[in-house]
Amino acid sequence: MNLPLGFRYSATFAGIRKIVKDDLALIVSDTRATAAAVFTQNRVAAGPVLIARKNVRAARGRMRGILVNAGNANCATKTSEKVAIETSRAAAKMLGAKAEEVLPASTGVIGVELDPRLILDALPQLVGGLSADRFEDAARAILTTDLVMKTAFAEVKGARIAGMTKGSGMIHPRMATTLAFVMTDAVMAPDALRTVLKRACEKTFNRISVDGDTSTNDTLAVLANGASGVRPRLTAFEAALTEVLESLARQIVKDGEGAKKLVTIDVEGATSERAAEKIARCIANSPLVKTAIAGSDPNWGRILSAAGNAGIAFDPRRVDIDFQGVAVCRGGVAAEFSEDELKARLDEPECSVRFIIKGRGRGRARFWTCDFTEEYIKINASYRT
Amino acid sequence: MNLPLGFRYSATFAGIRKIVKDDLALIVSDTRATAAAVFTQNRVAAGPVLIARKNVRAARGRMRGILVNAGNANCATKTSEKVAIETSRAAAKMLGAKAEEVLPASTGVIGVELDPRLILDALPQLVGGLSADRFEDAARAILTTDLVMKTAFAEVKGARIAGMTKGSGMIHPRMATTLAFVMTDAVMAPDALRTVLKRACEKTFNRISVDGDTSTNDTLAVLANGASGVRPRLTAFEAALTEVLESLARQIVKDGEGAKKLVTIDVEGATSERAAEKIARCIANSPLVKTAIAGSDPNWGRILSAAGNAGIAFDPRRVDIDFQGVAVCRGGVAAEFSEDELKARLDEPECSVRFIIKGRGRGRARFWTCDFTEEYIKINASYRT
């Protein structure tokens, strides 16, 4: 892995989680970095989201770092915003940065007061531990119910991009889902970075679903510190960023709570990209589709029915559906296929669904979801987030 | 139970289901009855839905009966509409009614051709078996994954209302969910019946959710044959019809696939009834809320977060949440309550959630959902609808 220049990382256990495992991470750029971020669209936004949004604006898109904790969402508590301000300021001070130059982020249980002392007391050790090669320590510290660490890397004309993310439940395609942090040493202007981030996010993090719920804390932030001196063309940078975000997004779905299969859904032939996306989202969120896939049941009727709930007009008699490349529905009715053979292929860890509306429509969209297993219920019925 | 006058019922096994159990039912009014119906809003509507809609219109809201089969949805097949026309016409002919005076309805697997011969061959026995006291036989014949028969009764000024319904998965609050048939001997004009049905449906069948999916075959039809000679006031009739539909709707949720608990959600203090309904629906459909309730976990943070996804503006700091009458959240933050005590109370078969936005808003809505258990996944991963 090629890490971008000019960044340092740290992680420590601050006592926020119930188990002893790093729960506090710090990402720092040696110099001010161009910053852009997208946040949850949930009306109930956590304190750190409100403060992060304010800070990015106050700092005019030039930030020094990200302070993030797992184990407590710092949301729906009396002191939520206060804690986010106090802790991010303290970190900024220790870094010699302005108060607003650190972006706070939190993930974990909602509605439980987060004691700022835990973080304040851990800060000296956290800052002391900053190192250019502790990227993975930080990536591990932000995980909650995740089973695996999630990172992705790309290069563009000699500049490097490195991303980390967390999340395996409460994953829904509204926007920046869960926490994700991307560092690059490319030279980027704030406006350009914002535009590129929005577009890349739209096609990646906004197109995944595990359970259709959007969290109160979703944050996706990019820091571009220019340390490489490379000023890539915007289209090239956007392609590389999209590659990193797509990889991270897919890793989230693959690690979806209880998920055994990653499902890629392609919708083609809709009247617009937006229409295609809506249909894909309805298929991706249907518990009946997701349970059928869990059972390796090529039940295309559920896919057709779920698509019909998207609020998008289409003629069912012009719909073709493929499962794992096998034609299961042609013109809205059953195609001839070997069910046993297809069932066996559906046992694979990756599963593809193609939903094609024949005609002149050029709208297409790709979406990722996972199957819905008994394990998901087990995790969420017993686990107090 | 007091059945309305002037109706006869029949059921038989036509060989549509894989197991030997009645799968074909006929409901007949001795005279033409005023008819009103609401249907699925899924873009992929089954043949019987398309034909039923046409028939009610062609007959100007005056129908003789309902022909319904379980075991095959007669949807997404080459002959779907043809089969619905052929079989409902044949039934009409045997009843001495006009072709359009019988309403077809189907439920079961999607995408498998339904052989009309099975129904045509069974018709003589079905019509021969018509009897005023076979209401329950018909109510049982329409069931699929249901564990129990679902019926409800009411009286209004001497007129009687009797309803039956089926459904336990693919239940979503868009409109008439699953199949439901209501018979009354009250005297009703077509326009009045339509209006009253829409309003009653809006507050009952449109406010339930099991898994957020809407089927291709949902049909709710009311026949009012006037045999009692009673012409009740519209408000009184609406109240009685609402009572019957609410009872049927609740029975569906209670029998939700894998469900162990019926959950009643009340939202109060929203800016409008529509806003309250949207918030209630988001809470009712959240897998995280539904799994928490399955686990008797008073995780109010998930309720607040789900409400925040409704696209309705509200101030989280003015939100109170009660679980089983116990204050768990006040002003958007945790209230003091005994978690062990509440956990025990959440083990009860009925569970109530109140979500109150303090202020001047007068919008309120009640919604019913069920918990989300491992059993739901088991049923839907293995069962080919």
- Measured in angstroms, the CA of A371 and the nearest CA of chain B are apart by 10
The whole-number pLDDT of residue A172 equals: 42
**Least CB-CB distance to A333: which of B78, B109, B376?**
B78
Among B177, B216, B242, B373, the one annotated catalytic? B177
Q: Taking residues A1-14, what's their average pLDDT?
A: 94
Angle among Cα B373, B376, B379 to the nearest 5 degrees reads 145
- Name the token pair of B170: 């693919």
DSSP strand E in B136-246: where? 150-156, 159-166, 179-184, 208-209, 219-224
Q: Does A212 touch chain B (CB under 8 A)?
A: yes
Which of B39, B41, B44, B209 would you mutate first to test chain A, the one with the most A CBs within 10 A?
Answer: B44
Helices (H), chain B: 47-58, 80-94, 116-128, 135-141, 190-202, 234-254, 273-285, 287-294, 300-308, 339-345, 374-382
Find, among B70, B62, B50, B127, the residue nearest to B100 by Cα: B62
Looking at residue B251, the DSSP 8-state letter turns out to be H
pLDDT in tens, A98-131: 999 999 999 988 889 999 999 999 999 999 999 9
Closest residue of B to A213, CA-based? B286
**Do the Cβ atoms of A367 and A173 come closer than 8 Å?**
yes
Q: Give the separation between CA B368 and CA B251, rounded to whole angstroms.
A: 10
Is residue B23 helix, strand or coil? coil
Q: Is the pLDDT of residue B225 over 50?
A: yes
pLDDT in tens, A134-175: 999 999 999 987 888 999 999 999 999 999 998 765 544 333
pLDDT band at B147 (very low <50, low <70, confident <90, very high): confident
Pairing label, strands B7-12, A208-209: unpaired
Would the CA dihedral through A295, B263, B341, A112 be positive or negative? positive
Q: CB distance B216–A297 less than 8 Å?
A: no
pLDDT in tens, B96-119: 999 999 999 999 888 899 999 999
Q: CB distance A288–B382 less than 8 Å?
A: no
Q: Give the separation between CA B70 and CA B310, rounded to whole angstroms.
A: 35
**Least CB-CB distance to A291: which of B113, B301, B377?**
B377
Q: Which residues of B touch A216 (CB under 8 A)?
A: 304-305, 308
Q: Does B377 touch chain A (CB under 8 A)?
A: yes
Secondary structure element (H or E) that encloses residue B323, with its range? strand B319-323
Would the CA dihedral through B197, B202, B205, B211 be positive or negative? positive
The residue behind tokens 């002919």 is B93
Q: Is the pLDDT of residue B380 over 80?
A: no
Q: Does B74 touch chain A (CB under 8 A)?
A: no
Please return the burial class of B146, using the count of CB atoms within 10 Å of its CB with bins 0-12, 13-18 and 19+: buried
Q: Give the separation between CA B24 and CA B106, rounded to whole angstroms.
A: 9
The model's pTM is 0.82
The whole-number pLDDT of residue A212 equals: 60
R_g over Cα of chain B: 22
Q: CB distance A211–B288 less than 8 Å?
A: yes
Q: CB distance B305–A213 less than 8 Å?
A: yes
Q: Beta-carbon neighbour count of residue B286 at 10 Å?
A: 26
pLDDT in tens, A263-318: 999 999 999 999 999 999 999 988 888 888 988 988 898 899 899 989 899 999 99
Q: Taking residues B22-49, what's their average pLDDT?
A: 93
**Do the Cβ atoms of A17 and A71 come closer than 8 Å?**
yes
Q: Give the separation between CA A219 and CA A48, rounded to whole angstroms.
A: 9
Q: CB distance B309–A374 less than 8 Å?
A: no
The whole-number pLDDT of residue A54 equals: 97
DSSP strand E in chain A: where? 7-12, 24-39, 62-72, 102-109, 150-156, 159-166, 179-184, 208-209, 219-224, 262-270, 319-323, 326-330, 333-334, 350-357, 363-370
What separation, in Å, do the N-terminal and C-terminal C-alpha atoms of chain A show? 32
Q: Give the separation between CA A103 and CA A141, rounded to whole angstroms.
A: 16
Q: Does A124 touch chain B (CB under 8 A)?
A: no
Q: CB distance A374–B372 less than 8 Å?
A: no
Q: Does B49 touch chain A (CB under 8 A)?
A: no
Which of B218, B309, B315 would you mutate first to test chain A, the one with the most A CBs within 10 A?
Answer: B309
The whole-number pLDDT of residue A175 equals: 30
**Least CB-CB distance to A381: which of B216, B291, B334?**
B291
pLDDT band at B211 (very low <50, low <70, confident <90, very high): low
Q: Is the pLDDT of residue B213 over 90?
A: no
**Least CB-CB distance to A301: which of B110, B302, B308?**
B110
pLDDT: is B379 or A277 the higher one? A277
Among A34, A144, A177, A373, the one annotated catalytic? A177
pLDDT band at B176 (very low <50, low <70, confident <90, very high): very low
pLDDT band at B209 (very low <50, low <70, confident <90, very high): confident
Q: Is the pLDDT of residue B381 over 80?
A: no
Q: Which residues of B touch A110 (CB under 8 A)?
A: 301-302, 304-305
Q: Give the separation between CA A230 and CA A222, rounded to whole angstroms.
A: 17
Interface A–B counts its CB contacts (< 8 A) at: 197
pLDDT: is B3 or B175 the higher one? B3
Is residue A30 helix, strand or coil? strand
Q: Taking residues A222-247, what's their average pLDDT?
A: 96
pLDDT in tens, A59-80: 999 999 999 999 999 998 999 9
pLDDT band at B212 (very low <50, low <70, confident <90, very high): low
Q: Is A177 a catalytic residue?
A: yes
pLDDT in tens, B269-316: 999 999 999 999 999 988 888 888 988 988 898 899 899 989 899 999
The tally of CA atoms less than 13 A away on the side-chain side of residue A335 is 19
pLDDT band at A372 (very low <50, low <70, confident <90, very high): confident
- Measured in angstroms, the CA of B338 and the nearest CA of chain A are apart by 15
Which of A299, A305, A323 would you mutate first to test chain B, the one with the most B CBs within 10 A?
Answer: A305
Q: Which residues of A touch B110 (CB under 8 A)?
A: 301-302, 304-305
Q: Partners of B39 in the beta sheet?
A: B219
Q: CB distance B372–A373 less than 8 Å?
A: no
Q: Is the pLDDT of residue B169 over 70?
A: no
Residues 311-370 of B with CB under 8 A from A: 311-314, 316, 329, 332-334
- Measured in angstroms, the CA of A257 and the nearest CA of chain B are apart by 11
Domains of chain A: 7-254 (3.60.70.12), 262-382 (3.10.20.340)
pLDDT band at A385 (very low <50, low <70, confident <90, very high): very low
Q: Which residues of A touch B382 (CB under 8 A)?
A: 295, 297
The alpha carbon of A70 is separated from its chain's Cα centroid by a whole number of angstroms, namely 15
